[in-house]
Structure 1
């Protein structure tokens, strides 16, 4: 400890808004990786200038955008300036990569194009910092630095730039790149015609119009490949298909030798199936859909019917079909500000930081175990995608792991949507579900929002403790047909007639279970299950007593929905 030191807080933004500017999973991945690259560069610069990182305790794979360090008090401004400079230097690498790619594949750029480009790349990033002298009292110094940091963020010093013209497709707020002679739609239609630009990178016909930031996400060299949302939705089917290697290999061979073969593009490095998951869905294999997604113009339905027949054969071999729904999981530690403020010493803060790093290191293996994909696991914040069938168990395991490693609780929002539903809208729904979970007193809560293709939206909240394994067991009962799918609707009707989770409600649940159980597949106790469901309803959070049975009814309909793979 040196009394000539200061506690220094530095952050980079925007974060969630920037990552959320996405139309495909690769955009999410690129935004996340870019933030990590820039934050890492800032962290290295702080260390090189004599600073010692406190949070994160060390630089790893998922560096958060907010850094806390001990630095020499007389070097605070110089360190802040250096961190800002290295962020710009690192940023320019990806700016340059993108310019080179676009110069090789796009129309000639003029002064109009360059003006838009320079305005966007030179004014995008915001940095904030504050410091307070340590003076032998770490807690007081951190508290003072935090208050100064919060004040700096409230006093916005970055210019708000209004951009006119046709807006880009990712943010919907900034001007799409264009030239003086070509409107945005025409310009991007020309870019998409380049033989080196695949439809995985850009939709044709000017249907996707990017600004400089979106172009950098696509062509900055930040990610090599990302799975499609359809591949996430079909991940459990693909895992089963991989066990039938000869059948999967035969289907791949048929697809590659079909007229579609010349239009395929890899979206992953998977040795068995490097293509999009949409080709596991029969509705993709139509002239209209293939023309839209792959540019295939096929008037003869015969070759496509051969592909469709082989896909049906794969279904029979695997004994299942891919499910069209997937989920986005947004999980966040509860009361992290309070946990940090409770750290009285630098050592306690670093210990908390090390625990958070340890948790982050467990996220990706857990997500992969559940056939999902991690966008980021920075600090106490996780964003991941998973098939509908594994999303809730994954979120539950992440919350348990967070508690075991960090010591606090975590809450999560899950949005489930059809694979063709806009990714950005699904992400917004997941964030809103997370906010709903965070509003519950005491938190440690899960909120699920299902965006059904019919247009209906279903929300349900529960604490982890109240749900326990009940939801998972319900899904299994519906899947195994131990209880009829009609039981979910019966529960909703019971809740309408009996709004209080009392003995009458439990008795009616018992009667409905006896009515809808399978004569041989049901091996459970109706009494025990009716009591379990009543107890769950009683402990559902932040609901008036006469609304809890209705909430339980929604959970049963969600269990049925998951069990049937999103079938309406």
Structure 2
């Protein structure tokens, strides 16, 4: 329905209410629904989540958004006769996942049908409850009210019953919400004027608070705004208690620790782990959030030591984290603490290095990956299927079930996937470098393609010591590029970001077009082609392959060169630089299917420069780890 300009939604004077609109307009069509349609949306959540320095911040931001959306859903469900369409009821509850509590599959948008004439009131109440809950968390942290403009940003639309059936009201609501998003409003009364104040290190749109919340540990010295202090303190339930999220180092080392667990029976390994535990005990009784699935490998007579490996050692098996100044900054009781942190750091670094030597000189992995997935064209899909609330509720249930399935799959033994959020239509998760492609493939395959849109996926590998905020932003950009690479979307983007700043990415179709199907083996996907290069049995491919591909690019691009000769020459180069004939075949396939940097219609190029750079990285940094014993038993 097109609303005449004179009847376009009006804006009130109150800043908060300016994020809200109520639709007025033409008379009802012949086929009418007797309830108002309400949509309450939390905007800006992606930036709030991405503006995180640690994985605990990231988890907390996701959890906060989920709690606020749950509050809006609860308010919309309260009136007699109300029906919440999105999310379904079982998505609003919490569930324990490892050592954290997650709100299950709550999207950042709530859709409900309420009694005719009550839509605007219910929507406004839901928005107010969301704001009050957030304000309460700020007061709990600082003991006073502090303005955080734009957090939360709540927008709502209420379409009266007189605007037709569910489909008509849905279309109208989407049009109005889209128009509302184009409006930029700013709070008055000086709420956005902070002359002479430092800005927040994570979110410079807000000023940093001059005082830290009561009970903040001494080592927490970041310059943060009130909104980010709420995020930072979210998992601290009470003094001395901290329920958080696995760190980047802990996630990266999960396969390494699995290998250690499988070899604890060896005398050298057992002794090295015991020494590492003894050194760490000199700092503090450290306990981390366990990586899901790792505790499945605890067994045998070494249960206490194995449990310590799972729950406390993830960060500390990396020798380079043992730095005296960092230890003092993070663990000194006060400025008069007389412990020799330099000596402790040297002992810890030695114990971690000895452990690596006991494992045959294998160091812990330096890289991990962040995985993002999003269903293609979800907005259009919902509009096309807006035949009634029952249809949308079925879709909502499917998304909730998909989210639960993806969480369960990621926690399967050996995958070590750690979800930040799973909403069914999208997800964000971390995984060790060695298993990231498997995690992405598993989450992709769980999507029922006959009932829901196809998914596009992005994987970004990054160093455990690199900026997390940059990694999350980069994976979002990769996902956007994957979707934009072809009208059909359904793409997989895989990229890496080295600590030195070197980067590359390749974009592949998840499954090939029919005319290119022979390139793949039966059942293969792009993830399978790339995963070959992270195989533990694969030989390391020399980076010099990339120089040869660049040098010979013009010859490879010659369309008069038969495919058989092209593939044979490419395989020869790969073998010459340490790979195998199978590696050469896979690289040829990836070159044929490359979408990045090419027009959607194709341009005849086939040289796999991008894929080769990614393949070299995978072979260097993402190899699987064997837990086969090679030493003497105790």
Question: If each structure's helix is expressed as a fraction of its own residues, which one has the higher value?
Answer: 1
Q: Which residue pairs with 1:183 in the alignment? A: none
Q: Choose 413-422 or 24-33, whichever is displaced more.
A: 413-422
Indicate which of 116, 138, 153 corresponds to 1:95. 138
Task: Give distance in 2, aligned partners of 1:421 and 1:402.
Answer: 32
Structure 2 counterparts to residues 80-479 of structure 1, below 5 A = 80-99=123-142, 118-120=146-148, 124-134=151-161, 137-159=165-187, 161-164=192-195, 165-178=197-210, 187=211, 197=217, 199=219, 202-203=220-221, 208-221=222-235, 224-245=243-264, 250-251=271-272, 253-258=274-279, 261-263=282-284, 265-268=286-289, 271-273=307-309, 274-275=311-312, 277-291=314-328, 294=331, 304-319=345-360, 320-343=362-385, 344-369=387-412, 370-404=415-449, 406-441=451-486, 442-466=488-512, 467=526, 469-476=528-535, 479=537
Assess if the C-alpha contact under 8 Å between 1:460 and 1:555 holds in 2. yes
Assess if the C-alpha contact under 8 Å between 1:249 and 1:272 holds in 2. no
User: What SS class does the counterpart of residue 53 from structure 1 fall into?
Assistant: strand
Listed one character per residue, the Cα deviations across residues 408-467 of structure 1 (whole Å, up to 9, x for unaligned) are 211122222111111111111111111111102211112223111222121221111142
Task: Give distance in 1, aligned partners of 2:610 and 2:338.
Answer: 44
Task: Give distance in 1, aligned partners of 2:331 and 2:559.
Answer: 53
Could you list the runs of 5+ residues in structure 2 that have no partner in the other structure? Answer: 1-30, 92-103, 238-242, 296-306, 513-525, 624-634
Shift of 1:502: 7.0
Shift of 1:33: 0.5
Is 1:23 the counterpart of 2:43? The answer is no
Is 1:52 the counterpart of 2:83? The answer is yes
Q: Which residue pairs with 1:534 in the alignment? A: 588
User: What SS class does the counterpart of residue 308 from structure 2 fall into?
Assistant: coil
User: What SS class does the counterpart of residue 147 from structure 2 fall into?
Assistant: helix
Could you list the runs of 5+ residues in structure 1 that have no partner in the other structure? Answer: 101-113, 179-186
CA separation of 1:375 and 1:515: change in aligned 2, threshold 3 A: closer
C-alpha root-mean-square deviation of aligned residues, in Å? 3.3
Query: TM-score by structure 1 length?
Result: 0.83
Query: TM-score by structure 2 length?
Result: 0.75
Shift of 1:216: 0.7
Assess if the C-alpha contact under 8 Å between 1:330 and 1:382 holds in 2. yes
Assess if the C-alpha contact under 8 Å between 1:494 and 1:508 holds in 2. no
Q: Which residue pairs with 1:107 in the alignment? A: none
Task: Give distance in 2, aligned partners of 1:38 and 1:500.
Answer: 57
Indicate which of 69, 92, 96 corresponds to 1:39. 69
Task: Give distance in 2, aligned partners of 1:500 and 1:73.
Answer: 68
Assess if the C-alpha contact under 8 Å between 2:369 and 2:433 holds in 1. yes
Q: Choose 444-453 or 36-45, whichever is displaced more.
A: 444-453
Task: Give distance in 1, aligned partners of 2:353 and 2:483.
Answer: 44
Assess if the C-alpha contact under 8 Å between 1:415 and 1:450 holds in 2. yes
Shift of 1:496: 5.2
Task: Give distance in 1, aligned partners of 2:50 and 2:441.
Answer: 24
CA separation of 1:517 and 1:3: change in aligned 2, threshold 3 A: closer
User: What SS class does the counterpart of residue 508 from structure 2 fall into?
Assistant: strand
Assess if the C-alpha contact under 8 Å between 2:504 and 2:613 holds in 1. no
Task: Give distance in 2, aligned partners of 1:530 and 1:566.
Answer: 19
Q: How many residues align?
A: 527
Task: Give distance in 1, aligned partners of 2:112 and 2:41.
Answer: 11
